[in-house]
Amino acid sequence: MTATLLDGAALAQEIKEELRPEIAKLRSRGVVPGLGVLLVGDHAASGVYVRSKTRACEDLGLHHETRHLSAGVGTDHVLAEVRRFNERADIHGILVQLPLPAQVDTQRVLDLVDPSKDVDGFHPENVGRLVQKRPRFVPCTPAGIMELLTRRGLELRGRRAVVVGRSDIVGKPMALLLLHADATVTVCHSKTRDLAAVTREADVLVAAIGAPGVIGRDHVKPGAVVIDVGMNRVTDKERALALLDPGRLGQFEARGHALVGDVDIRAVLDVASAITPVPGGVGPLTIALLVKNTVLAAAGEA
């Protein structure tokens, strides 16, 4: 058995195409959905994410603005920029690109974002609404994963789901969404004993650890659906040779680095029934759902 690759890029394009008539309808009423992005510092991955998100906005005709602050700014400066976006009628969604520098109080910043513009779903009010199964905005990566699972006909009701990772951004909201879909959910983390014994119980395994290739063959139940959230930059050639498909080795040689997931896909391909690749799996869906949330905010449907 060879696992089916779940094409997140293709589904992301489907979702964006579905948004075009909604955007056209808003524009006919004089409303152009607007996204305000706050980027602090020069974190390489953050810069890549922001460029991808703004390209998606441009493709769909959304207004977008990025405020790029220096890495040395303090919390008060960042809060002031959030207030400006909060007050602007032409900005319907606000994205604070994480991580913020260590000297910035991330929680204070996220708490200040207007909940009706919080398209990342990180404000405590929106987190609480998600817990109560009446969400306004769902965090984009878990929302994208649910779109992938449901649109590809992968049944969740009564299935065993294991989420590896307990972050506020992915792990916790992912577990809630799976629970709301009537799956039986286990959350694992760095203190979990005998991780592989737990993950092997999963019909659906979501890996969101942030460590390259740590989920291997022994972690996966035969026939499981594996969702790889990891986006890890590998620069070590020996590690790249172990984790990369041979077809991507040329890319590594040319660039000196490559992106790999939390799952050792080469080891898991003949065990799982379906798996998301890295890149091209979860990442494009995250961007598509951010745009979708921004359009919802503009439409006042959130």
Domains with residue ranges and CATH for the chain: 30-116 (3.40.50.10860), 140-283 (3.40.50.720)
Q: What is the predicted pLDDT for the residue at 197?
A: 98
Whether the pLDDT of residue 241 is over 80: the answer is no
Strands (E), 125-224: 160-164, 184-188, 204-207
Question: Catalytic residue at 53?
Answer: yes
Is 50 exceeded by the pLDDT of residue 80? yes
Strands 225-228 and 274-275: parallel
Average pLDDT taken over every residue of the chain:
94
Residue 169 has pLDDT above 90, yes or no: yes
Strand extents, DSSP E, 113-252 = 160-164, 184-188, 204-207, 225-228, 232-234
State whether residue 112 is helix, strand or coil: helix
Of the candidates 224, 169, 175, which has an alpha carbon nearest to the alpha carbon of residue 202?
224
* pLDDT at residue 302 tops 50: no
Tell me what the mean pLDDT of segment 114-124 comes to: 97
Active site residue 114: no
To the query of whether residue 251 is one of the catalytic residues in this protein, the response is no
Q: What is the phi/psi pair of residue 195, to 5°? A: -55, -45
Asked if residue 246 has pLDDT above 80, the reply is no
Rounded Cα–Cα distance for residues 27 and 202 (Å): 45
Which pLDDT belongs to residue 240? 76
Using pLDDT thresholds of 50, 70 and 90, give the confidence band for residue 206.
very high
- Give per-residue pLDDT as tens, 248-269: 877 878 888 788 999 999 999 9
Q: Which of 53, 117, 172, 292 is catalytic?
A: 53
Q: Could you give the percent of the chain with pLDDT greater than 90?
A: 84
Q: Which of 80-94, 111-125, 182-196, 229-243 bottoms out in mean pLDDT, i.e. has the lowest? A: 229-243
Predicted confidence (pLDDT) per residue in 120-154, tens digit: 999 999 999 999 999 999 999 999 999 999 999 99
pLDDT at 145: 98
- Are 221 and 185 in contact by the 8 Å Cβ rule? The answer is no
Q: Which of 16, 117, 118, 120 is catalytic?
A: 120
Burial class (CB in 10 A: 0-12, 13-18, 19+), 5: middle
pLDDT of residue 24 exceeding 90, the answer is yes
Give the pLDDT score at 266: 92
Per-residue pLDDT at 42 exceeds 60: yes
- pLDDT of 18 reads 97
Q: If you search the block for the tokens 């999963």, which residue do you land on?
A: 202
State whether residue 4 is helix, strand or coil. Answer: strand
| Distant-in-sequence, close-in-space partners of 48: CB < 8 Å, separation ≥ 6 | none
Annotated active-site residue in 16, 97, 203, 264: 97
Mean per-residue pLDDT, 194-213: 96
